[in-house]
Structure 1
Amino acid sequence: MADELTRLANGVLWPGFLGSEVPTWLGAALEEGLAGVVYFAQNLRGDTAALSADIHRRAPRALIGIDEEGGSVTRLETETGSTVPGAAQLGVVDDVDATAATGYEIGRRVDAIGADVVIGPVADVNTDPRNPVIGVRAFGGSTDLVARHTAAAVRGIQRAGVAACAKHYPGHGDTHTDSHHGLPALSLSPQEIEEHHLPPFAAAVEAGVLAIMTAHITAPHWGDEPATLNPGVLAGLRAAGFDGVIVTDALDMAAIREQVGIGGGAVRALAAGADLLCIGNPTNPGAAMLPDQDERDYLMARDAIVAAIRSGELSRDRVADAARRVAAMADAVRGRSTAPEEPFDADRIADRAVRVHGSPRPFADGPTTVIDLRRASSLAVDSAAAHVALTLAAGGEIVRVDADAAAGAERDAAAQRAAAGQSVVLVDRLDADSPQLAVLEGIRSASTGVLAVNVGLPADAQGAVISSPAASLLSARAARRALLAGPV
């Protein structure tokens, strides 16, 4: 039997776990008041609805969350690629009804597997084209556009009977460091943050969002603490009228783990005003992952909270208040009725998001050589997803080139492949500073008329470019259709 402090700590913890069945440690924690779990791709290889039912049987108020954004980030369709439009596609289309319909479809799919919380939408305003972790996950770089589409997505998701969790407060869009690997720092003034990055979160609050996730980012005027651990930043969210659940981004990310550790991060996040602590994906250490990594990570957070309450470092009332908010969200989700399924045409939205620049030559419906210059995948985004290149190639050859490191000989070889037959150059970053743009221009200098397919942020570029902004199956199919359609 768990003691009272253990149950209290469990009420604010949201761990990941290994496998597609409930492990012994997780079963015990659920029975001892655990707030819930977060699903990652490794959990979804069996009967996920049965897994969710087992979790809810053990703990009826458990909240099951999942990162299901559509576009470049999916857990439900990891193996094949998402068939739901991503935020950047929706931003290009700029039709809030389409965004609300997409949010509803995401919520419907999440509800169908028995999960309760969509960890989305992304409410960040992506103002830095170098951003390695947001990019096409954002609706765009305009504050007003992001705000109206964030609100539409929240309404759509929650209409499906699940909770939305807008992220990453107070805005991760003006960074060029991935917080999975380091601690990003904003160089923006307080006024710039307030004017350009906070309005989408205010729009989410106005739309009734049940949860908001923090960002592991710093700014000079906040002091040394990242937003997740910063009382002043989180108090600002409450002052803006948000009374729902403040969720931390994963505590196993380097921005927290390498600064204060998972346990230290858990204690300091709660003290700062966070309510639900996302511990993270236990597979993230890769080859260094231990067989019981999931349990180890959970215990580091739980035991640190219990010890901090006992020592007086952490207020018991603060943890109890956080647990109360989490339980209230669970009750709110349980009390929602799922709306009936609505018609949804994902292909139509994806086609509307395609932009064709220049005058691409007509393509035959046959094998196509793909010169793939995209950035490597990260812990957050499968940016180099194989299904994108495979769909564009339609049985043709795929040549992977690291644009950051490619020497002259490798570039020359890529240019020769591009000139040998029907080919495209696949990119996801075409801004002026991008190595991909330099390699593309080199290929074009050796072989005129080369067509680029850009699945990253739309960018001004010379020559023929088809833009379909998501590393997803849906986006690749739309780009392939545009290839075959020829000039428009």
Structure 2
Amino acid sequence: MHETEQWRFWAGQVLMAGFHGTEPNRAIRDLIQSHHVGNIILFSRNVADARQLQSLTAGLQELAREAGQQWPLLIATDQENGMVRRLPPDIPGLPGNMALAATGDPALVQEVGMVTGQLLRAVGINMDLAPVLDVNNNPDNPVIGVRSYGDRPDRVARFGSAMLRGLEAGGVLACGKHFPGHGDTVVDSHRALPEIPHDWERLQQVELPPFIHAMRDGLDAVMTAHIVFRAVDSRPATLSEPILTGWLRDIFGFNGVILTDCLEMDAIQKTVGVAQGAVDALKAGADIVLVSHSRHQQLAALNAIVAAVALGELPPSRLQEAAHRVQTLKSRRLGDWNSYRAFLEYEPWQDLTAKAALQKRASSLAVTWLSRGDALPLSASSIRRIAVLYDETGSPMVPAGSENPVGQALVQTVRAVLPGAEVHRYGFPAILHHESPTVLRQRIARADVIISGLNGTQNRLYLEFVRSIQSLTIPQVIFLLRSPYDARAVADAPHILALYETTPWMYEAGVRAIVGGEARGRLPVEVIPVFSRDHAAG
């Protein structure tokens, strides 16, 4: 193989690429067959149902085998569960990280991890970009939040490693993220470049322990954070040699694969650019550069890597080392094409009933009463009329596992759990265009129970109305549909239930809790100054 061709081969082996569509399109075929790309990332845009996804991943692997690639593709996705879900709707969903942490049960987290791994393996996905190892110690964090196991490093380490062990037991590779920690920021790196001012001593105490714990437990890969740690380097961690090589390799002795977060995120794309970012990340010590969306940017990254080697900017030995580390991981965990057949033939579909039962059990153990007065629980037979209030501000979010916008999905769940009740829904602010707050209050007062959902996007008018009806004498329950930190806005309410995510299974657990169902969770974070960590109302 000519020298330049060798560089091109290595460049393909260190790129992870995404594409659009539910079957291999021309762009991804070309990347695999002509550019030696050895790693693929899948998103919801690639998923219709389980059989389609299984066919897609098998087709991608066949393209790689026909192209003469020695090892199977790494096919990765972000299946964090809860709000971040890539598996199709015909596969049972599971609670996300903060909800699982609320159960206080690492064994349950490991079980959820194992089932997650089994379900991924069943559809041909061999790497999960999880667990999330960020310590969410900033309540205003816009991107991590309930994706974290909590605000204490020991809790995140314990549950993160339990998820890691579960994923591995389920048969997939795990990639912990976002090194060295994305928890203490108020900036979303998808939109800008965050900075964290903490020094080495603080990072050792808070941000780093979950990663160190997971690496000791055999973590296969680490995903980097596009965050500047100013006390260490002026460049984001993804592009920082002191962080990736100095810390991860030299101090922590990590020999696994270092994978960048997507280089098309604004934190990189609007600073150094995607192509130069790929080169700089490899120079810093990364082994796989992730370009999730644009074929143009993917080709630009490949060409930039080869050009950097030719110009002496990137040592060929560094590129070879990265490619070799990826191939070693594949050899060790996936095997060659013959042994990989066993992975492709794994189908646990007969166990879906048991997996759905795990969904219900984990959800009921997770939902957390932050406040609960004497008016609850109610008898299901006594509820004839229910008022459900929710905020429609902005674009409707779609809860994982559901085709309905958040408020509609909540109403649908209430009707399913309490079929004998008349359910009236009130979406804000649209309802105020038709009725005055006074008339609306009178209508809602006819209900036997009121459920008000807060989803982190609440507007001022909605919050004011929810607060105003607290003076009504009928039972009212506030569902914190996403972040438990939203409790700060309604701290005086008599009944507050944290659901942690807008998913149908957590909605169901919440509604059942009103009529005496289990709600045994404890708060995994401190909601200053309202609720302490591990709080649960009696």
Shorter-chain TM band? 0.7 to 0.9
> 1:190 pairs with 190, 197, 200, which one?
200
Are 2:47 and 1:21 equivalent residues in the alignment? no
Q: How does 1:364-383 map to 2 (within 5 A)?
A: 364=380, 368-373=386-391
Contact 2:452 2:466 in 1 (8 A): no
Which residue in 1 is equivalent to 2:273?
A: 261
Q: How does 1:307-346 map to 2 (within 5 A)?
A: 307-335=307-335, 344=355, 345-346=358-359
Which residue in 2 is equivalent to 1:289?
A: none
Q: Which secondary structure does the structure 2 equivalent of 1:38 belong to? A: strand
Contact 1:82 1:473 in 2 (8 A): no
Q: How does 1:216-365 map to 2 (within 5 A)?
A: 216-235=226-245, 236-238=247-249, 239-280=251-292, 282=293, 294-335=294-335, 344=355, 345-356=358-369, 357-359=371-373, 361=376, 362=378, 364=380
TM-score (norm 2): 0.79
Distance 1:450 1:250, change over 3 A: same
The count of residues paired between Structure 1 and Structure 2 equals 470
Distance 1:39 1:159, change over 3 A: same
Distance 1:436 1:260, change over 3 A: farther
Instruction: Give per-residue Cα distances to partners, 1:13-47, cap 9 Å, x unaligned.
Output: 01110111112232132124212210001111261
Instruction: Give per-residue Cα distances to partners, 1:43-102, cap 9 Å, x unaligned.
Output: 11261111111111122421100110111110114x589721211111111111101001
Which residue in 2 is equivalent to 1:72?
A: 83
Contact 2:391 2:462 in 1 (8 A): no
Instruction: Give per-residue Cα distances to partners, 1:370-413, cap 9 Å, x unaligned.
Output: 3224886799997998465334313545544479xx99x99778
Which residue in 2 is equivalent to 1:55?
A: 60
363-372 vs 96-105, greater mean Cα deviation: 363-372
261-270 vs 446-455, greater mean Cα deviation: 446-455
* Aligned equivalents of 1:133, 1:437: Cα separation in 2: 23
In the alignment, residue 425 of structure 1 is paired with which amino acid?
A: S
Q: Which secondary structure does the structure 1 equivalent of 2:231 belong to? A: helix
Distance 1:215 1:205, change over 3 A: same
Q: Which secondary structure does the structure 1 equivalent of 2:228 belong to? A: coil
206-215 vs 466-475, greater mean Cα deviation: 466-475
Instruction: Give per-residue Cα distances to partners, 1:291-346, cap 9 Å, x unaligned.
Output: xxx32121121111122111111121111111111111222231497799686522
Q: Highest Rg: 1 or 2?
A: 2
Distance 1:401 1:299, change over 3 A: farther
In the alignment, residue 17 of structure 1 is paired with which amino acid?
A: F
* Aligned equivalents of 1:222, 1:263: Cα separation in 2: 24
* Aligned equivalents of 2:441, 2:55: Cα separation in 1: 51
Are 2:74 and 1:43 equivalent residues in the alignment? no
Gaps in structure 2 of 5+ consecutive residues: 66-71, 416-422, 520-537
Instruction: Give per-residue Cα distances to partners, 1:168-194, cap 9 Å, x unaligned.
Output: 111111111111111111132322211
Q: How does 1:409-448 map to 2 (within 5 A)?
A: 418-419=444-445, 421=447, 422-429=449-456, 439=464, 442-445=467-470, 447=472
Distance 1:471 1:136, change over 3 A: same
> 2:181 pairs with 171, 177, 180, which one?
171
Distance 1:247 1:374, change over 3 A: farther
Contact 2:41 2:77 in 1 (8 A): yes
Gaps in structure 1 of 5+ consecutive residues: 283-293
Contact 2:199 2:232 in 1 (8 A): no
Q: Which secondary structure does the structure 2 equivalent of 1:69 belong to? A: coil
Which residue in 2 is equivalent to 1:290?
A: none
Contact 2:397 2:405 in 1 (8 A): no
In the alignment, residue 476 of structure 1 is paired with which amino acid?
A: Y
Q: Which secondary structure does the structure 2 equivalent of 1:247 belong to? A: strand
Q: Which secondary structure does the structure 1 equivalent of 2:193 belong to? A: coil
* Aligned equivalents of 1:176, 1:377: Cα separation in 2: 22
* Aligned equivalents of 2:326, 2:283: Cα separation in 1: 16
> 2:504 pairs with 473, 476, 480, which one?
473
TM-score (norm 1): 0.86
Which residue in 1 is equivalent to 2:482?
A: 456
Q: Which secondary structure does the structure 2 equivalent of 1:221 belong to? A: coil
Which residue in 1 is equivalent to 2:133?
A: 123
Contact 2:393 2:459 in 1 (8 A): no
> 1:98 pairs with 101, 108, 117, which one?
108
Contact 1:80 1:473 in 2 (8 A): no
Contact 2:392 2:407 in 1 (8 A): no
* Aligned equivalents of 1:400, 1:81: Cα separation in 2: 30
